[in-house]
Amino acid sequence: MNKLSTEFSYLLYKEVGIEKILEINRRNKDGDEEDFLICYSHDFCDSNMVMEEALRKTHGKDIDIHSNESIVKWNEAWEEAKKENFFIDRSIYLEYVNEYITEKRMAEKLNTDPIELDKAIIRGRILHENIVSEFHSNNS
């Protein structure tokens, strides 16, 4: 597992949240085979800026992001992160994803008060941040 790809995935989670990661993964999977180089993360944020931040965090702030070496690292990390669904399929995320989606769907089905639904979503996001931080520190 490439440290840059996990850092990129972690920062992308922080930028867009779990639901958008799930949608990015769905779009990447269902995308046109001719467009296999496309990553739908760009539909939700400037993911090049996210990758640049990840590159600087893993290789130092002074790295020349336009050098051939940096471009190779950038592309390899992006390919791995996309291939690995931004690591959402790792067991560390499965419990969170299932709990979050189930909690949200149940709240919507029960016509829960919007404030209570927001509280449930916030609890899920806090749990998510803790899991991502733990995953990130264990893979540093």
pLDDT in tens, 77-122: 999 999 888 887 664 455 556 666 666 666 666 666 666 666 666 6
| CA distances, 140 to each of 62, 66, 76 (Å) | 20, 24, 18
Token code pair at residue 32: 């046109």
Which DSSP state fits 88? T
User: Which amino acid appears at position 2 of this protein?
Assistant: N
Q: Which of 77, 60, 85 is nearest to 3 (CA)?
A: 77
Is there a contact between 87 and 93 (Cβ–Cβ < 8 Å)?
Answer: yes
Q: How many helices (H) and strands (E) does the chain have?
A: 6, 0
Q: Quickly count: other Cβ atoms within 10 Å of residue 115's Cβ.
A: 8
Share above pLDDT 90 across residues of the chain, in percent, rounded to a whole number: 29
CA distance 50 to 7: 9
Report pLDDT digits (tens) over 51-82: 999 999 999 989 999 999 999 999 999 999 99
Using N-to-C axis directions, what is the helix angle for 91-109 and 18-30, rounded to 10°? Answer: 110
Which residue's entry shows tokens 């702030």? 61
Contacts of 85 (CB under 8 A, 6+ apart): 25, 28
Higher pLDDT, 122 or 1: 122
